[in-house]
Amino acid sequence: MTISMYQASVPVLLHTLDAVSAFLKKAEAHAELRKIDPAVLLGMRLYPDMFALTRQVQLTADFAKGTAARLAGVENPKFADDETTFDGLQARVAKTATFVKGFKPAQIDGSETREITIPIGGQPRTFKGQPYLLHFALPNFFFHAATAYDILRHAGVELGKRDFIGGFKTE
Amino acid sequence: MTISMYQASVPVLLHTLDAVSAFLKKAEAHAELRKIDPAVLLGMRLYPDMFALTRQVQLTADFAKGTAARLAGVENPKFADDETTFDGLQARVAKTATFVKGFKPAQIDGSETREITIPIGGQPRTFKGQPYLLHFALPNFFFHAATAYDILRHAGVELGKRDFIGGFKTE
């Protein structure tokens, strides 16, 4: 008994995309309640040369989309990075989740040794599917999701770690 | 061909523990260069009710230790949370990595359906091994590691995402 590449990717990505969508809803409600311009919250960042909240969410979504597409060996669609509102970001996350959900286990299972070439720092780099997923894609995905959460916490939005971890999936 | 529970846990945890150790070294060097009291950096946090850097690193280490121990069904040793210096945190991370590295694949493989009961919010909750690893333990582990990184970036330590992602493991 082992884990399939599908199990280690699609449901994991969807679980945290759901959590991101839920904590963004709390952030939007916080802005409304406190009469904060949503654009200010969306533009917040932890340091001047770090990405702002909007970009962190776009990157979280892109790592989800790209991971599923690359493991399945299908074209990774380009989504325009043009969101300027919470509704826009919610639509981006939802569109990404629909895309990820569309993959069947048979498309992704067996991709452990599939060669995946991605540009990193302008240079193409080739990974086998399993290390790509476990040592590159998931850490990147969680990094941007956690940083989005950290920006919101830093901005005073009332969230707890449970908002990041999402619902407990015990089986 | 599939992923084993060992492959999805031990090397993944060790990879990011290495990255945490490396970025803590950069943080210590930054403090020395800027004549910042290391204790100030270790006590930084993103919001008053969030954990400070020291605790984020302790929790990263504890999720690594606990994940390996619980999947293997062995006692999860308690490490005292008494670190007050960068050296102390490095020793904590190193001790944790040694513990995690000590597991053999045979101890962890096959733990997909092993029942794992942990206290969450004071209540025991039982997970099967695979959802525990993929939907609870790894998100928590990456959450605390990314938040430690985010605290350091927010404090002005010169890090880039590559410091979080660590070395590329392509095979």
Main-chain dihedrals φ then ψ at residue B54, nearest 5 degrees: -55, -45
pTM of the model: 0.98
- Contact state of A134 with B110 under an 8 Å Cβ cutoff: no
**Residues paired with residue A125 on neighbouring β-strands, in sequence order:** A118
Q: Which amino acid is at B145?
A: A
State the Cα–Cα distance between residues A83 and A56, nearest whole angstrom.
12
Any A CB within 8 A of B63 CB: no
Collect the ranges in chain B with pLDDT lower than 50.
none
The per-residue pLDDT for range A89-119, each reduced to its tens digit, is 999 999 999 999 999 999 999 999 999 999 9
Task: Report the candidate in A143, A99, A55 with the shortest Cα–Cα distance to residue B23.
Answer: A143
Which value does ipTM take for this structure? 0.97
Any B CB within 8 A of A11 CB: yes
Any A CB within 8 A of B147 CB: yes
pLDDT, mean of residues A142-159: 98
State the Cα–Cα distance between residues B139 and B165, nearest whole angstrom.
15
- Contact state of B5 with A3 under an 8 Å Cβ cutoff: yes
State the Cα–Cα distance between residues A160 and A113, nearest whole angstrom.
38
Distance from CA of A104 to the nearest CA of B (A): 16
Q: State the pLDDT at residue B129.
A: 97
Distance from CA of B162 to the nearest CA of A (A): 10
